[in-house]
Chains A and B, each alone.
Chain A
Amino acid sequence: MVLIKSEKKEKVKRPKRNPEKNIGKNSKNNPETNDEKMIILTRYLEESAERLKELDRQKDAFLDIAAHELKTPITSIQGFAQLLQDEAVLRDIEKSKHYVSLIDHNTNRLYYLILNMIDAFKIINNELKHNIECVNLYDVFKSAKEKFEEQIISKGITPEFYIEDNVPTITSDSEKISRILRNLISNSINYTESGTISLRIFRNGNNDGYIQFEVKDTGRGIPKEHQEFLFSTFHQVDASLNRKSGGAGLGLFISKGLVENIGGKIWYESSVGEGSTFRFNIPLVYDAKTIQEMKDKEDAHQETNNNHKKANEADDEYKNEEYQINGGNEDGQ
């Protein structure tokens, strides 16, 4: 199993296009030769093959992890369901109830794993849709609290749930907000052994038209070398069989995609041994036009950065272009 550690590796160099266009340009005074043509074409083909191999490798790695992660809840569902076929077990009502609750819990987990995988592909292909409606944040808060409070306590960690008074009803996508919270709080639970995990929902003091969410833990924190690639796909994956967290390592990649899909931003602070704080904000009023403008601005900014980088890397004749698997600037658009 070959695994990917960094976003940089997910960027696959795209072969230079129109190889023939450049033939002879470096040697204006020399006649074109077939040899020269062959060398450039060969190089082009080699680069294409290399790129396809890299994409194939990423796909294999993803499928491998996905299969592995899906099998974990299935093991519990199948196993406890089989145990419940035993009459001796069924006679013990409490035990039976407990096994049913484990089946329920793992089915839920399996459902979210599948949802995350589907969303990861939608984000990569830029096909994520949303369902904008009036969102009562107290409901979102309450359901997050109900879902996670007990789970946090059962791990011996202190939960802290806070929502500011008089938070307005917003227009946004409540399912997406719940999913982001779910991903962030699950991560905190996975990475925290003791101390506290808190969720806070509040308006920024300066009334900037956003509502802020904060998930903070006293867990093991994120090592510097992991920080750069934290929001990339397949991040948790590394070259050993070590499992870095639950899930397919897609949680943060998806959270970022979901936050941006509803016009927000996500960021974090973390220090090893002390814990991590993830924050995201979303606009009180979803406005597709503003969000598109923001996105365009960001893309333009990205493009400028890329061009700057490209210019530095460029040789006399070509500019190196990078193909990003995470969507974006394919074909230089």
Chain B
Amino acid sequence: MDNKIVVVDDEEDNIELVRAVLSSKGFEIITFTNGKSTIGYLEGCDELPKLLILDMRMPEMSGIDVCRELRKNRKFDSLKIVFFTASSDLDSNLLKSYGVIGFIYKPFDINQLVEQVRKYVKMTVA
């Protein structure tokens, strides 16, 4: 599917919100509530999603753990990842080293979320 986006967050209400906002704009939204099943899904996936929106703070595997794991596999070299976070003082240098192309901060304005996601989907990775 051309507009597939994977959203990972342990907060189910937040996932439902992102799904409601983005699916009405023509995106196909696939969601997971933990890192392990996300990695399992992506490994078995023939066509990578256009974007992976990854919550940073989750039980067991954090967003950073998931990123670290994915970056071990060349298959995911071209996978675009953005962090979904409520923190405001992130070390952007550290995050760049995981190949994260941006952040979506919580709480968000739903129109801005759509704009941001469109921008990230179009972005080409160097």
Contact A71 B16 (CB under 8 A): no
A contact patch SS = helix
How many A residues are at the interface, by size bracket?
Answer: 20 to 34
**C-alpha gap A113/B64 in the complex (Å):** 26
| Chain B positions within 8 Å of A323 at CB level | none
- Write out the residue numbers on chain A whose beta carbons fall within 8 Å of the beta carbon of B14: 72, 75-76, 79
The reply to whether A76 and B13 form a contact with Cβ atoms under 8 Å apart is yes
**In the assembled complex, A240 has its CB within 8 A of some CB on chain B:** yes
Jot down 17 A-B pairs with beta carbons below 8 A, ordered by A: A67-B88, A71-B107, A72-B106, A76-B13, A78-B109, A79-B107, A79-B108, A82-B109, A88-B24, A106-B13, A241-B57, A242-B57, A242-B62, A242-B65, A243-B57, A243-B62, A244-B59
Residues A102 and B59 in contact in the complex (CB < 8 Å), given A72-B11, A241-B64, A243-B10? no
Q: Is B47 an interface residue (CB 8 A)?
A: no
Distance A76 CA – B20 CA, assembled complex (angstroms): 12
- Residue picked from B13, B63, B64, B109, most chain A C-beta under 10 Å: B13
Q: With both chains docked as a complex, state the minimum distance between the C-beta of A225 and any C-beta of chain B, in angstroms.
A: 16
* Interface check B70, CB cutoff 8 A: no
Cα distance, A82 to B63, chains bound together (Å)? 27
Q: Within the complex, which residue of B21, B56, B57 is in contact with A79, where a contact is CB–CB below 8 Å?
A: B21
B: interface residue count bin: 20 to 34
The interface residues of chain A lying within 8 Å CB-to-CB of B60 are 242
Minimal beta-carbon separation of A70 from chain B (angstroms): 8
A83 interfacial by beta-carbon distance below 8 Å: yes
Contact A74 B62 (CB under 8 A): no
In the complex, whether A309 has a CB less than 8 A from a CB of chain B is: no
Q: Are B62 and A71 touching (Cβ within 8 A)?
A: no
A74 / chain B contacts, CB cutoff of 8 Å:
106-107
Q: Bound state CA distance, A80 and B63, in angstroms?
A: 24
Name the residue in B10, B11, B17, B21 with the highest tally of chain A Cβ atoms < 10 Å from its Cβ: B17
Would you call A245 an interface residue if the criterion is a C-beta within 8 Å of the partner chain's C-beta atoms?
yes
Residue B87 CB within 8 A of the other chain: yes
Which A residues are closer than 8 A to B by beta carbons? 1, 64, 67-69, 71-72, 74-76, 78-80, 82-83, 88, 99, 102, 105-106, 240-245
Whether B17 contacts A76 by the Cβ 8 Å rule is: yes
In whole angstroms, what is the CA distance A325 to B13 when docked? 35
CB distance from A103 to the nearest CB of B (A): 10
Known: A72-B11, A75-B86. A83 touches B110 (CB 8 A): yes
Interface core residue of A1, A105, A241 (most chain B CB under 10 Å): A241
Q: How far is the CB of B123 from chain A (nearest CB, A)?
A: 24
Within 8 Å of chain A (Cβ to Cβ): is B58?
yes
Which of B16, B17, B56, B110 is within 8 Å of A241, CB to CB? B56
